[in-house]
Each structure stands twice: as C-alpha cells, then as structure tokens.
Structure 1
C-alpha cells in the first residue's frame, strides 16, 4: 500500500495541479513525457507485488484458452468444450493466446494441458500475471502517442489525462487482480482515436479499429461512431456529402475487408462461421449479469424488488416463478416478478435509438471532439440499455470520456459522477478481505488526486454553466463513502451470511444513479456544443 500513496511523490504532478497560464507554451514533448514513463515503471512495480493477489475464474478462463490454442489446431478451437470456459473471443485474441502458449509450454507444461482444469501452479500464476503487465506497454505507447499528437496549447491537459488512464483503478482491479487483458486492447483503441485527429491518420485509424474488433467484439458498440465519422470525413468530401472520395472509399473498404478476411476467412473456409458466431454472441444469457451492472436494468430490477415487498399493500400480481431469479442474481433467463420482462429486441432498440442522437450530431459536425463525444455516448447507450451487460464494460465509457473530460468544466462536471460510480461499481469483483484495503485505498487515492488535478486544469465553458450537476456530484460523492463502508464491512458484521445479495444490490443501484446522471449531463453538453 505504501507504493500506492508514494506515486504522487515519485511522479511530480504539482506542475499539472497548479493552475497556471504561461504566456508561452512548452515547445518540447520531453517536459511531459518522462513522468509518463516513470509512472509506468512505478505502476508496474506495484503490480508485481500483486502477483499473489486474488484471481477470479477469468484466470482459469485464460489458462484454458492457452491450453486450447496450444493443444488443438485452429479449426478445433471453437468446438472444444472440455472445460465450461470455452473460447468465446474473436480469432485475433485466440491467436494472441496461441502466441502466449508457446513460452507457457516451456515454463510449465501443465499450464497448456487441456485436462489440467483449475491448474494454478506458481509458475502459471507468475507467467499469466507477467503477460498482463508486459502487454500493458501497448497502453503506455498509445498514451505517449496521444500526448505527442495533441496541440501544444492543450498538452498539459492531455498529459494529465494520459496519467489518469495509465493509473486507472479499473485496469488495476480488472486486469491485474481479477485478471483480464483490457489495457492492451484499450491501447489499440486510444491509438485509433488519436490517429483520427488528423486527415492523414484516418485510414490507419479505421484499420486499427477493425483489428480491435477482431480481438474483442464488445467494441462493436463503438462501431457506429467510427462508421459515421470515417464516412463523413474520409469517404465523402468535406465541402459536400454528395461528392464521394472514390479512392478513399476503396482504400478504406479494401483494408477493413482484408483485416476481417484475415481473422474470419479461415473459419469461413472451414464452414465454421455459424459455430464461431454462436460462441461470440450467446443470447441465451439473461438480461442481467450475476452482479447487476450499474445501468437502467439495475434500477429496473431494484424497482421490481421494491414492488415485491409492496405488492400485498398495493394488491399487485406477483409471478412466483420469477422470485428466485430477481433475488439471487444468477446468470440465465431473467424474469421479473411484478414489472414486464425485457427482451433482447427492446434492449437493441433502446441502445440504437440513443446512439442515433449522438450520431446525428456527429454527421452534422464531424470534428474530432464530436467524434470522441459520439464514441462516449455510444458506450453509454450500450452500457445503460444493453443485454447482459457486465460491470467491467463501464471502461467502454470511462476511457473515451477521459480523453475529452478536460474540454471544459461542464464536461468535467459530467465526468466526476461517472468516475466515482464506475470505479466503485467494480469493488464487488474483489470480495476477499485482503484485497479490500488495496482496492479502496488505490481508488480513493486516484479519485482525490485526479479529480483535483482535473478541476485545476479544466477551462471555463464558453456557454453558461448549470451548477445543479456540481451540487449533485458533491452530495453523491459524500454518500458513496458510508455506502462502501456498509457494503464491504458493516453488512457482514451485522448479518453474517444472510442477505448476501443486498450489498450488491445497494452498490449496483447507487452506482447506476451516478452513471445515469453523468449520461444525462454529458448528453446536454454534447448536443448543445
């Protein structure tokens, strides 16, 4: 824990936090970039100390994928089901696992044995943890590029943003303790977004995003914003939408088809596309994940739970078969006891409807800031209204939003409740006592440091501000502290093993209020800018 709180001493953030407006802007990148590198080294050292920390079932998922890709030929990857944790990521990520499996087999052959279920030797733990730390270098490189490509007048803000993403509690919790490879893939996304800032980078931006989709298909939620932006800025003339740039269309279309052809072509040749798509899109799963993601359906589920208790007084009809579903939070078909059930079609319709609002604005004003705003709102819509959303998907909103959080203070006012709610909503992923001080101290330290730094760096907006959201954020943040204490400590002391889902319900519902409020505030900023 000492490492966590010493970051501010090792990395000199005082020039960022101090509100200064120099007459001249630094002309070299070196003034800012060394701290980004220092931060990467110190953060990596902290993550090495966390090698023995808690690991979720995702650790076994990725170990099993190492075994699948190492032991079987590619045409058998998406059929193998010795373990319940079958391969359900796109082919490029499967190829990434295959690359990792080559040194893994030399380090510990049991790691890549299909029959070694729940295998976790110290060599396996060290190797898999180390691969996450090493792959995160791609995130560092993308943030370095993001700062370098930023106009000099806003480079100080970009550097603070880059540090906040690099040190994100989300990556520490999800990747380095819970265990996944999100930072690497968000590195590809940030590279793609940064390249889209200039006309010369648009083609490569589209290619990188296509590659990202072939690593993890959750980024499909952001695809509509990419489609509209690249169509409007690269494929059509900026002077008139009725003048297509034929050569640009051919280059972009050919490049994207080549990427998807390389990823999915072999499986199409083997006649496995139906099997592969069934693995990627398992719609048989229920509306809500085992732990409700903090979205609209968490509020919907909470209201249904309240109505169950009020039903005898209000004389409401209750579906008795649905009681177990709404109270236990299990994965599967979710049924509601009082409120109408929700279908995948309704989720898709609502998601698309709210994305269209952002995309319309992007079509009319195809600037880079508007593009990143549209990406953020596409992430919001998919997270708030999507089917079987995981709580980890909140990074799909936080990371793009971070890139424009310092555009002005009205944007920052919307970002604050998102950061607080989004990161606190990840706490239930780490439910063991030894990880409680780590996740709590690190997240609170991050929130205090970066929200303070952001507050000092965000310029005043050109339009009149509405201070209601600021007051809400202050009250919301104040309530979050006792909520964390109750859900993590007090509830267990009072009820022991009773009402296990209650802290999860409180956390999810409270965080959903913060995310929804942030979304509404950002919608107002985006559509009025």
Structure 2
C-alpha cells in the first residue's frame, strides 16, 4: 500500500522486487520516442516487466525542509526528474506481462540467488562478512599457483621487481632509491609505492632478514618468502580495495536494496582481470584502483577536497592513474563552473592548494630544502620512461594492431612517436572533457539565470555536482583513450578502463546493453592477457576465474533471449576466443609465423576495446543531454527548479506544483518537485518510475 502523490489515497501496487535500473526520459526526448526514433538513445522500449516496480517508501512524500533537502541531496546523483505518465499508461494498456518475461526476471546469477536465499533465511546480516571471507579465500587460492618470472633467471619477473624494491628501500637512503642499479629492476613507480614497499620490507625483514638482504637476496624463491609476499598483496587489497568497494556501493548505490548492493559487491570483488594480475601474475593494482574509488565516493558525497587528496594518492602509487586525470580534473572544473563565479573560484583555489600540497608531501625527500631541485628529476625520469619503445610485447591497442600493416617504429623516430601518440590520445579523450565542461557551463548559467529571475539569495552547494552522472563515462572514455593510443602501454593496463566499466556493470540489469557490454569487455580483457597468463603458468586460474565470475553475475552469452545485436556479436566473439584457445592447444604455430596466436588475439581484442571507447562517448552525450547540459539555454534553465512569485515549482509535464517549504536548488534539482512528480532518484544518475494506485504512472527508459 502506498500513498498516491497527488491525492494521498492508499492503493495497491505490485510487491514484485525488480532491480532493473531505469531513468525518466527527459522531455526533449519524448518527441523522439513518439516518432519511433527511440533507438537513438540506445535503449529498448520499456518492457512490461520494467514497468512493475517496488513501492515508494512513505518518507518519499514527506515535505522536506531546506536543511533536510540539502542533506538529502547529497545522496542523489541525478538532475533528471520528468513525469511521463501517459507513455507508461499506453504501454501497460497495450501489453501484459508474459510468462517468458517472468522467467527472464528469475534468470539471474548465482550471486543474486544466494543473497535472496540468505535474506529469506533471516541471515542478511551475515552476507557481507561471508562475501569478504569468501573472496579473500578465493584470492588466496589463486596465490597458490605460479607468478611472473618464477624460476626464470637472471631477471625473473614482476614478483622479483616488487621484492627487490622492498630490499633496496630498507637498506638505501631515500635519495638512492631511484638511482641504484637501474639495470636490475630499478624503481620506476611513484613515491607512495616506494613507501609501502619500505613498510612491507621492514616487517618482512623482522620475520626473516634473508628475504631482503641487499643484493644477496636477488631471485630468492623459498616457500616462506613466497607466502609473505603473497600475504602483502592480500593485506593491501583488504585494507584499501575492499573498503573502497564497500564505500562505493554504499554511496553510489545507496538507494538500492541491500541485496542489489551485495551482488554489486561480489561483481567488483571477483573481477577476473584484477584477480589474475594481482594475485596470479603479482602486482598491487588494487591499491591504485581502490584509492581512485575512494576519490569517486568523496565526490559523490560532496567532499571534493578529500576526493582530490585520494586521487593524488592514487597517482602517487602508480602513474597509470594518470589515465583518469582528464576526467577527474574536468569534473572538478565543471563543478566550479556550476557554482558560479564566487563559489567556483573559491573551490578552484582550494582544490589547487590541496593538490599541490599533497604532491609536495609525496615528493618531499626530493625537493628543497631536503634535496637540491635537480633531485626531482630522479623519480620523474623513472616514472615516465619515454626512452622505451612505443609498445612492449603484444598489447591489444591501436599501435600494436596497426603495426601489422604500418611499421611505426621503423618509419618514425621515438620522439616523433611520442608526440603523435600524445596528440591522438588527447583527441581521444577530448569529447569527454569538452562535454563535461560544456555541461557544467550550461548548468551554471541556468542556475544563475534562475536566481536572477526569482531574485532569490544564492546558497552554497551541498552535495555533488549535477554533472556527476557523467563522471563514470568520462573516466571510461579517458582511460580507454590512453590504453588505445598512448605511448608505452602494457597489456595489464587494461585494468584501468575496466574499473569504470565494471562500476557501471554492477549497477545495470542483466538484460541492459551496459551489462552485456561490460561483461563482454571484462571477458575479452582477460583473453587479451592470455599470452602473459600462459607464460606465467596461470591457465587453470584463468579458466576457473572467468567461469566463476560469469556464473556469479548471471552472464551466459550463448543463451540468447532477446536476440539483440550485442548478443549476436558477443556470441561470435566468444566463439572465436574459444576456437583460438583450442587451436593453440592442438596446432603449434608455423615456423614462419611464431607469433600468429598473440597477433590474432590482438586483432580480435582491439576492435572490442575501440567500440567500447566509442560507446562511452555516445553515452556521455546522452547523459549530458539528460541532465540538461546540452540544448538551448532556455531549455536548460527550465530544468532549474526555483520558486516563482506564487510559490510554485515547475512539474515534469509542464504544470506547476505547490512549494510549501520554499525549497530552492541552484544546481537544477528540486527535491519537492521531484518527489511530487512521482519519481525517486536512483544511483549512478539513474531514477526509477513508480506506479501509483490511481493508474497515474511515471515511465523511464533504461538508462543503462
């Protein structure tokens, strides 16, 4: 039973719990839908199943005071609030829920079935600890296998590199960390990695000094040292990445059910590529990704300065976090634009000061007065090794794939390739940067115009920027552009664009394009690293992790239901992957083409990553349109709800609703107007329509 927002009368609604994420279609898109051009949005028509949604909570219709409205806004990540009642009414009157659709709703992954069972048994409070324990145990099982460079002297591999950094940091002065014996795994990561290596080395040396004896411990592979090294990866993951993922599901998905949040948690913690690299191959990427997640969560709750510090720490741990820098920096600049001149300049100066101070603290041992100014070149030259080639090994990016026809390293010099790759990379992420800045400018201008029209006093912003829904797509565009086009990319670098894509996947329904594309790219990413994993002896882990993850999330590419283009393409790509694996096992490569299988791997994986990059740009445009960042200024201004002279707020259908509390929002979102329009904001910029007892429904097109 729920209250109708219009009359307060109680009526029945369906008690079926659907986790599909849908969003209201902006008014400017209704014309497109009526003209049967809805395919432009990349979203299928609303199915009858999606129309049945959970009941609104009673608090959804309680008028909010200005103070409570500002607090409530911090948990809302969407400026989209439109009422489309007639569209859903027509859809429901012309269609009914079929048995096939009902079966589809039950065709979910093992993770969702298990969480539902735990909740029905009254064990919901034990789900989270069990998830953490299960994933930790599973990760430790992966560590029982081999690792990068095991038994391959003289340089071994990444395992030895990380161990050697612990060795040199505890025995040498800080000034020598980036200059000592560079031919044998010289330190080439930013200072935070060095500090954590020092801490791990100090603890390990207390247990057994022989593990990290200077020079004499090189290549050590005894069982006890292996256990300790593997334990450091698990400890860093547990202390940084797991809390960051928990923070994410509790902020970006806080309006979703606890079952859905727990499924998202499993989806992220069992991401195949990350587990294979960190716990199989041996690295600490979860620390960098976890710190980036913390920064996103801080932005989502309005703590921009803390978010900036967290992102600087991510950059200070691994320079690959620079792939996110254009998106993060643009988001903060866009928020400054939405705040107006005075508040925007104030926030910009605070962010600049915090960023400079954070970097200065990280690099303090190489800065005056502790060291001469020239000392800063030691870590910088190691962090950015432009003396290396355009790419190493076979990596599924543009340069390696096109090198089959165009011998870049023969036709162009290394400095020319650096400039060319930098230029193409900038062009690659430019759409995300320009789109977010333009949206911030438009929304800021709309807010200022609304303030002037209403003659209302300006108030500082409480909560995230209205362009926050653009951030995950901008992160994906920027990081994928770097992976495809930048200089000196490793195959492991695909982990960086996989993070924002998997975040989007974790909040998407199983039948949505985002879910299907996210699952496809995660699987292809693991496939693209197969030559590396095969060399490390991780074939068993590769098969088991991929099978488990797809089973947990409910992804079966060979079980076609809706027969969409994405389904057919996914099935074809998976079929080719399996065929290549079988061929590699049964047929040795010809002597004339010894690298035929890695090359075919690159040629199959690169187009998938390229399409994902284009898709992220397309979604950024659509989301920017939805939040009001595109279109004419007058239309954008109409989305900024401020009380008129008669104390009314504009509703989504062109009418007005009473504004008893006088709530205003300079960021284009009216809390009262949104509630009275029958919509509730959802996570990651999504909103879900609710069905009332009197037959007045709100409709949403699938945002994912």
User: In structure 1, what is the equivalent of residue 229 of structure 2?
Assistant: 128
The verdict on how the C-alpha distance between 1:511 and 1:368 changes in structure 2, with shifts beyond 3 A counting, is same
Alignment TM-score, normalising by the size of structure 2: 0.62
User: In structure 2, what is the equivalent of residue 151 of structure 1?
Assistant: 254
CA distance in 1, matches of 2:275, 2:248: 21
CA distance in 2, matches of 1:416, 1:42: 22
Matches within 5 A, 1:80-479: 80-81=180-181, 84-115=184-215, 116-137=217-238, 138-149=240-251, 150-153=253-256, 157-199=260-302, 201-233=303-335, 235-238=336-339, 240=340, 242-269=341-368, 270-271=371-372, 272-290=375-393, 292-304=394-406, 335-336=409-410, 343-365=417-439, 367-405=467-505, 406=507, 409-431=512-534, 435-450=538-553, 452=555, 467-479=564-576
Contact 1:302 1:509 in 2 (8 A): no
Q: How many angstroms does 1:498 deviate by?
A: 7.6
Q: How many angstroms does 1:243 deviate by?
A: 4.1
Q: How many angstroms does 1:455 deviate by?
A: 13
Of structures 1 and 2, the one scoring higher in RCO (CA 8 A, sep 6+) is 2
The verdict on how the C-alpha distance between 1:289 and 1:434 changes in structure 2, with shifts beyond 3 A counting, is closer
The verdict on how the C-alpha distance between 1:121 and 1:399 changes in structure 2, with shifts beyond 3 A counting, is same
Which whole-Å deviations, capped at 9, do the CAs of 1:472-508 have from their partners, x for residues lacking one?
2232222222122223x1234x76x884422211112
Contact 2:557 2:570 in 1 (8 A): no
User: In structure 1, what is the equivalent of residue 579 of structure 2?
Assistant: 482
The verdict on how the C-alpha distance between 1:104 and 1:153 changes in structure 2, with shifts beyond 3 A counting, is closer
The verdict on how the C-alpha distance between 1:141 and 1:338 changes in structure 2, with shifts beyond 3 A counting, is closer
Q: Give the 3-state SS of the residue equivalent to 1:527 in structure 2.
A: helix
Which whole-Å deviations, capped at 9, do the CAs of 1:337-390 have from their partners, x for residues lacking one?
899997111110011112111111111335222011101110010001011111
The verdict on how the C-alpha distance between 1:287 and 1:83 changes in structure 2, with shifts beyond 3 A counting, is closer
Q: How well do the aligned residues superpose, as a CA RMSD in angstroms?
A: 3.3
Q: How many angstroms does 1:254 deviate by?
A: 2.1
Q: How many angstroms does 1:158 deviate by?
A: 4.5
Q: Give the 3-state SS of the residue equivalent to 2:263 in structure 1.
A: helix
Alignment TM-score, normalising by the size of structure 1: 0.81
Contact 2:425 2:485 in 1 (8 A): yes
User: In structure 1, what is the equivalent of residue 131 of structure 2?
Assistant: 39
Q: Give the 3-state SS of the residue equivalent to 1:114 in structure 2.
A: coil
Q: Give the 3-state SS of the residue equivalent to 2:180 in structure 1.
A: coil
Which whole-Å deviations, capped at 9, do the CAs of 1:64-106 have from their partners, x for residues lacking one?
1011101001111111116520001111110111111111112
Contact 2:473 2:617 in 1 (8 A): no
Alignment length (residue pairs): 471
Say which is worse superposed, 171-180 or 469-478, in terms of deviation. 469-478
Larger helix fraction of residues: 1
Q: How many angstroms does 1:287 deviate by?
A: 1.0
The verdict on how the C-alpha distance between 1:214 and 1:97 changes in structure 2, with shifts beyond 3 A counting, is same
Q: How many angstroms does 1:16 deviate by?
A: 7.5
Which whole-Å deviations, capped at 9, do the CAs of 1:185-233 have from their partners, x for residues lacking one?
211111111221132x222111100111111111112111111111221
Are 2:616 and 1:516 aligned? Answer: no
CA distance in 2, matches of 1:26, 1:78: 60
Contact 2:557 2:567 in 1 (8 A): no
Which whole-Å deviations, capped at 9, do the CAs of 1:143-171 have from their partners, x for residues lacking one?
11111112314765544333212111112
User: In structure 2, what is the equivalent of residue 312 of structure 1?
Assistant: none
CA distance in 1, matches of 2:414, 2:169: 43
CA distance in 1, matches of 2:241, 2:291: 7
